[in-house]
Amino acid sequence: MTHALQPGAESASAAGTRPARSAPLPGGKIVLEPDEISRALTRIAHEILERTNGGADVVLLGIPTRGVPLARRLGTKLAQVEGRPAPAGSLDITMYRDDLRLRPARKLGHTAVPSSGIDGKTVVLVDDVLYSGRTVRAALDALSDIGRPRAVQLAVLVDRGHRELPIRADYVGKNLPTSQRELVQVLLTETDGQDAVIVGLSPAGAPGQAVEASR
């Protein structure tokens, strides 16, 4: 949950539309270290190149919050491997969620589609955690309102299982079997000051921090 805007900041968007940093889950177990995250992304980048004919016409769209820096990192890695930069943007799915009526209205994330557009491109959606699949369902709806990609693929850093919709990822950083009582938290340097994937038990008192990463 993105809480109050930072005091003193004129605008959250001017400040980069970032929620407050998440602190690591107390008592959580680190399952991916920074270098493991980096290696997983490198592998995903290579897989994307294999499956898309060298990354021609690939557009990376990250789902806020933490899909966005992941998409940017993948774009950098694609450029390093193939020497061809892949445009990276962000796709906010808040307005397409199916649980809007279950909780107070949310603050919107930022949508920035690369200027090349998505018509006829291969769009790779990027998110941190794949869980119920509902976020991806919303993202597919959001995409179809923006244009008509040739193909849509999904890359996630962590797949924790427990799908509620018929959705699967094309590229997975790490498959992480979890119980539904557990929380999976992804921390990234860009948003949280450090890279880590942490699994912990849901703390009954203060669930707010990890909700973002657990959906």
Partner 1 sequence: MKRHLISAADLSRDDALLILDTAEELAQVADRPIRKLPTLRGRTVVNLFYEDSTRTRISFEAAAKRLSADVINFSAKGSSVAKGESLKDTALTLEAMGSDAVVIRHPASGAPHRLAGWVRGSVVNAGDGTHEHPTQALLDAFTMRRRLGRIDGLRVTIVGDVLHSRVARSNVLLLHTLGAEVTLVAPPTLLPVAVSAWPCEVSYDLSGTLPKSDVVMMLRVQAERMSAAYFPTVREYSRRYGLDAERMALLPDHAIVMHPGPMNRGVEIAAEVADSPRSTIVEQVANGVSVRMAVLYLLLSGAGPALDEIGTGSPAATEAEIAEVAR
Q: Of the candidates 40, 69, 89, 96, which one interacts with partner 1 according to CB under 8 A?
A: 96
Judged by CB under 8 A, does residue 150 bind partner 1?
Answer: no
Judged by CB under 8 A, does residue 102 bind partner 1?
Answer: yes
Is 81 or 113 the residue whose CB approaches partner 1 more closely?
113
Burial of residue 135 (number of CB atoms within 10 Å: 0-12, 13-18, 19+): buried
> In this structure, how many other beta carbons lie within 10 angstroms of the beta carbon of residue 116?
12
Is 180 or 189 the residue whose CB approaches partner 1 more closely?
180
Of residues 75-94, those binding partner 1 (CB under 8 A): 92
Instruction: Give Dmax over CA atoms of the chain in angstroms.
Output: 49
Judged by CB under 8 A, does residue 110 bind partner 1?
Answer: yes
Judged by CB under 8 A, does residue 95 bind partner 1?
Answer: yes
Lookup result for tokens 């000051």: 193
- CB of 149 vs partner 1, minimal distance in Å: 13
Judged by CB under 8 A, does residue 120 bind partner 1?
Answer: no
Q: Of the candidates 29, 39, 107, 168, which one interacts with partner 1 according to CB under 8 A?
A: 107
Judged by CB under 8 A, does residue 183 bind partner 1?
Answer: yes
Q: Of the candidates 35, 83, 115, 145, which one interacts with partner 1 according to CB under 8 A?
A: 145
Judged by CB under 8 A, does residue 171 bind partner 1?
Answer: no
CA-to-CA dists, residue 131 to 54, 128, 150, 157, 178, angstroms: 29, 10, 25, 11, 10
Judged by CB under 8 A, does residue 109 bind partner 1?
Answer: yes
- CB of 177 vs partner 1, minimal distance in Å: 18
**Which window, 31-39, 69-77, 168-176, 202-210, contacts partner 1 (CB under 8 A)?**
202-210
Contacting residues toward partner 1, per CB under 8 A: 1-5, 10-13, 17, 92, 95-96, 99-111, 132, 141, 145-147, 180, 183, 202, 204, 207-208, 210-211, 214-215
